Each structure stands twice: as C-alpha cells, then as structure tokens.
Amino acid sequence: MNVTETKRKVEINDLYKLSTAYDAQLSPDGKSAVYVVRKINEETAQYVSNLYVVDLETKEERQWTFGEHLHQTPTFSPDGAMLAFVSNRTKTNQIYLLPVNGGEAKQLTFFHKGASNPIWSPDGNMLLCSAGVKSGETIHTKEEQNEKKELQPLVVDRLIYKADGRGFIKDTYSQIALIHIDSGESVQLTQGDHSYAASCWSPDGTAVVYSANLSDDPDAVFTSDLYVYNIDSKETVNLTTGQGSFGRASWSPDGSYLAFLGSQEENQTVTTTKIWLYDFSAQKMHCITQEWDVDVEDVGVGDLHSWRRNPGLIWTADSEGFYFLMSDQGNVGVYHGTVEGELTPVLFENLHVYDLSVHSNGQQAVVGISTPTLPGELYTLNLTSGDREQITHLHDTFLDDVVLAGAESFTIKASDGWDLQCWLMKPAGYEEGEKYPLILEIHGGPHMMYGNTFVHEFQTLTASGYGVLYINPRGSKGYGQVFADAVRGDYGGKDYQDLMDAVDYVIREYDFVDEMRLGVTGGSYGGFMTNWIVGQTDRFKAAVTQRSISNWISFYGVSDIGYFFTEREIKSDLYDNIEALWKHSPLRLADKVNTPLLILHGELDYRCPIEQGEQLFNALKRKGKETRFIRFPEATHDLSRSGDPKLRLDRLTYIRDWFHQYV
C-alpha cells in the first residue's frame, strides 16, 4: 500500500495543529538559541505564545515561559545572563527580565499604555524600548481609575487618525524610553506629537538611533529620517535629511558605519527596499544596492507567519559585512553583503526563509524555513558551508498524519510577452485521467509576492478536491521595480490579463483542469481583482471576494490609507479626475456580474472598510444577482492571518462551502 494512502486529507480544523516558531535569537556564546512558539489553544480558541530555548550541541529543548499569554520578542543581554522579553500577562504588553540560569521573570516596565521592542545597551545596564504616550502626557502618567468610563467625543484634526488593527489613534504616539536595569528608573527620550521607532545603540553606548517622520505635515509628507541621539548631551543629528523613508538601522561594531534599509521613494508606494550605508568619517550616505533590482526584505504572502519581524541588517564582529533577507522570484533567502557592495547568496533555494538570527562570529545562524509542504521549522545554518540542521519539530506528527499537496512552479509568457511566475497544486487524491475543478487565488497588496511557502488555505482547498492556481501578476514584488510599478494607474488592466493568461495556460497544458468548473478568490487587492473579474467575464462558476475594494471614490475617504494610496496607485483623486476612480471601481460593473459572489468582510476593517462590501452587496442584490454577505464581528483587515481563530475557521468553511455549492 502506498504511504500516502494511509494518510488523511488536511482539514480546516488543522489550523489548531499548526504552530509558528519565530523570533529566534542566538545566545552571545553561540551555544543556545531562544525562540517563540505561537499556537492556538484549541479549548479556548485563543492564541498563546511562549519562549523556548534549545541547546545547539545536545539539541535539548526547554520551555522558559508558561501560561495562556503572549510572550514574545526575546533578547539576550550582551553577557547572556538575562533575557528581556515582552508579555501581556498584565493585560497590556510590558517588558520583563528573566535570569537565564533560573528564576522567576521580573516585570521591568509599568507604563499604562504598555511597552515593546526592548534593545539592550552594549554594557547591559540599560534597555531602550517603545511606549505609547498620549499627547500632553508622559510615560509616567498613571491611568485614571474611573469606576465608570464616560463616553467622550473623538475630536479629529488630522487625516490620519485611525489605523487598521489599532482602531482610533486618539492622539497617542510611540515614544522611546530608556530603562536603567538595576534601579528600574525610566527616562523618556522623545516627546511631542510624533511617533518614533528605536533602531540601535552606538557601540560605545553613548548614543541611540531612531527613525521618525518629523515633518510639519505628516499627513502629506511620508518621509522618515534616521536620527542619532546623544544620551548625555541630548543633542540630535539628522543623518538622512528628508531624502526618503529609512529605518531598521544597525551600527557596525567598530563604529564606522550605520547600515539601514529604505528608499528615496522614487516610485512612491512601490519603491524597492534597498541597503544604505552612512559613513561617519565622511559624513555621507550612499546606497550599496542601487543597481540590484530586488527587495531587501521579506515580501512573501502566507497565512501562518504573520508574526515574523524584519531582522534588518545583522553585522558580523569584524564590521566588514552583514547578513539580511532578500525576496526574489517567489523565494525569500539569506544574503551576505559587504561595505564595498559585494552581495553573495548564502541560502537561496525554492523556499521561504521567514526568520533569521546570526551570531557575531559570522559562522552560524538560525533560520526559519517554510515550503509549500512544510508549515515552518527552525534550523541551524552554517554560513560557510551552507549546511543546516533542523532544531524544532513542531509539525512532525502533523506531517506524518496528513497528505499535503505540493506546488509546481512554472513561468509563462503573458499576452504582451512579460514573464509571469505561477504555481499549480493538484487536488489531494489526484488520479491520472480524471477532471478536477480549479480555484484561482489572488494575493493582496498588490505589492506582495506569492512564493514557495506553506499556505493552510490552499491545502484545505486541495483537500476538498480542487486544484489551486496562484500567480504573481504585474504589480507583485519580487520581480524588479518595473514589474512592481506596472499596475499603478492600470488596476484591472494588464494585471487582469495576466491572471486570465495564467488560467488559459493551465487549461491548455494540464489535462486534469476542468475549464467548466472554475472558481476565483482573493483578499484586499485580491478581493478588488475578484470583484473586477466577475464584472468582466462569466468563465468562473463561483467567486469569493474578501476584505475587498469595490468603489475607489468612497475608499478615498474612508480607508486609513485611502487618500494617499488611491492617489499613488490609481494616480487620480476626487478633484482632478474622479472619473478615473469610477472607471477602476468594480462597483460600476455590478449589473454585468452573473457569477455567484460570496462577500466576506471584517466589521473592524479600517484598511478596506466594510462599507466597500456593503455597497457591492446592495448593488448586486438590487440587480437580482446571486450573492451573500458574511460580516465577521470585531475582525480587522488581517482576519485571515492573525484574526480570531474561530472566525478564521468560519471563513475557510464559508469559502469551501460556496465553491462546493456552485463549482
């Protein structure tokens, strides 16, 4: 009997069996690594994350934190004796210290709006952190303990006053605080009605680097500068002087350079992220990847690794180079760069490296790796030989139990000759000579990238008997600046044709695809495109649009990014060319829709507000079209990746059942 015949198919509830190991940090002596494991408690249907440590020699693993809370962002002190981490065990996120050799965790911060992003000083005596501070208050302001919370009007003076996942900002800004470890004394380093993000310390511990948009009109100017703040003199120097948007800075150990990520926003929303160096002796900055047409960041799309952080640029002790993540052609891998601009691949295969920690010796690293058939595990990586060894085994039982669909990657020619990368997954239980329905999946962004990573949603569809086609149409990142920029001003144009070209190709080249049983779905931009597709063609038997855009005119005024995203992406606004906004709006095509359309939307989605789904539903119903509207309570734009676990399962069930009914 074939081994796969003894395995079961993936189920929607298997989401409970999928964990994420991430935020790995090598100890200063390189002998161990701490990391976070986030999972869902099936009994409570709530997320839980705890810290684990693994001895890299013996592979012995120990759990360091316990309970039903979220423990995250672990950071070793320079001597390796203490671990700082963030926990919500007191309801708000606060920073705690844990002795590595044993003992209870001690709460270090008590800010009433919480603390995050701990960064150790070089001598281990202080920590930088971020803290939410309301305008006119400080980190030391105590929360008012009113027995009854009175309703208060929200006074709005700015265009940007809400954010998806955060709600109404209410004049609260991210400030930087300095914590003295021994005394617990805290000092607020930044003030005012601006938000600041701490990046790093100078090697001698006398200064810190942070990024901020300190323009007079941050609603209109979107640059972000890097500043060096001297701890003693309190003097600040702007290193980048309004030249673009920069962050994730890292100071070389010898103090000569500051390496950072960013761009001069030549292509606004779409400009590829590059590596920059500031030379302190010459007092000049320059881009060392100017001619390298790739994104120096992880732009991969999935539904399992949304907790990951950008590791930035990780220097080696000799200050001659650094390691970083890079996205290209559907893959995310590890590269090494030097101050002279030499760029060398270290780990770049058909996979998704979603996590990276490098020891200062430049010889060893810990990476998180996922593929279409691997949910994600941590590995040690020899940076010289490329050898790697698995150190977590979160999914061994799951992988032994289920049969997963692989993803075949191929490249086709679009109608106008552009290269398009696609992936095709066969349905579970596939038999040669049989015909199967096909679902076209469309990613959001649109400036993101499908790739060689695990997607639970895709596996549930293949387990339900569908083939799955996914593609990176023009507008996607990972294929260079021109490709990513091509969608701007052309939403629903050649990007739509790219998707149809891919569908035509697989129907022509793969005998198992039943061209009479096609479905389509996608979220955000993918939801926009799903709406657009069913207004253009009747070739799909069913469609599911998720957290979508249907009307660019109203989106302009209701989304948390509406006005500037619309102006940059559609290249029009409400005044100069409102006709263009309507031209690109799927709502305009509602009377042409003959495909049964399921509309999924979160009630608290501020990115693509739920009124976008409401308008489309009302228009379709008024025209007598086959449609249904599912509203997810308290769900933000990120429902499919980090939303309420039960609602995530409900969402997948609705998608599957809709396709079962009509495809």
List pLDDT tens digits, range 584-623: 999 999 999 999 999 999 999 999 999 999 999 999 999 9
Q: Is residue 162 within 8 Å of residue 169, measured between CB atoms? A: yes
Q: What span, in angstroms and rounded, lies between the C-alpha atoms of 103 and 108?
A: 15
The SS3 of residue 636 is coil
The SS3 of residue 13 is helix
Q: Is residue 332 within 8 Å of residue 298, measured between CB atoms? A: yes
Q: Which CATH fold would you assign to the domain 405-550+585-662?
A: Rossmann fold (3.40.50)
Q: What is the pLDDT of residues 66-112, one digit of tens each?
A: 999 999 999 999 999 999 999 999 989 999 999 999 889 999 999 99
Phi, psi dihedrals of residue 252, rounded to the nearest 5°: -65, 145
The SS3 of residue 495 is helix
* In the chain, % of residues over pLDDT 70: 98
Rounded mean pLDDT of 23-30?
96
Mean pLDDT of the chain: 95
Q: What is the pLDDT of residues 241-261, one digit of tens each?
A: 999 999 999 999 999 999 999
Residues 6+ apart with CB under 8 A from 367: 24, 334, 347, 353, 355, 356, 357, 378, 379, 381, 388
Measure CA 354 to chain center: 10
Q: Which of 32, 395, 637, 640 is catalytic?
A: 637
Q: Which of 77, 87, 186, 524 is catalytic?
A: 524
Domain boundaries defined on the chain: 405-550+585-662
Q: What is the pLDDT of residues 351-385, one digit of tens each?
A: 999 999 999 998 999 999 999 999 999 999 999 99
Rounded mean pLDDT of 435-461?
97
pLDDT of 170 reads 80
pLDDT of 252 reads 98
Query: Does the pLDDT value for residue 147 go beyond 80?
Result: no
User: 436: closest CA among 425, 452, 450?
Assistant: 425
Burial tier of 60 (Cβ tally within 10 Å: 0-12, 13-18, 19+): exposed
User: 398: closest CA among 19, 652, 22?
Assistant: 19
pLDDT of 1 reads 47
Whether 637 is catalytic is yes
pLDDT of 384 reads 92
Residues 6+ apart with CB under 8 A from 310: 248, 261, 297, 298, 325
Whether 32 is catalytic is no
Rounded mean pLDDT of 556-569?
96
Lowest mean pLDDT among 9-18, 116-125, 152-161, 421-430: 152-161
pLDDT of 2 reads 55
Q: What is the pLDDT of residues 302-326, one digit of tens each?
A: 999 988 888 999 999 999 999 999 9
Query: Does the pLDDT value for residue 3 go beyond 60?
Result: no
Q: What span, in angstroms and rounded, lies between the C-alpha atoms of 405 and 460?
A: 10
Q: Is residue 260 within 8 Å of residue 199, measured between CB atoms? A: yes
DSSP letter (8 states) at residue 299: -
pLDDT of 146 reads 58
pLDDT of 306 reads 85
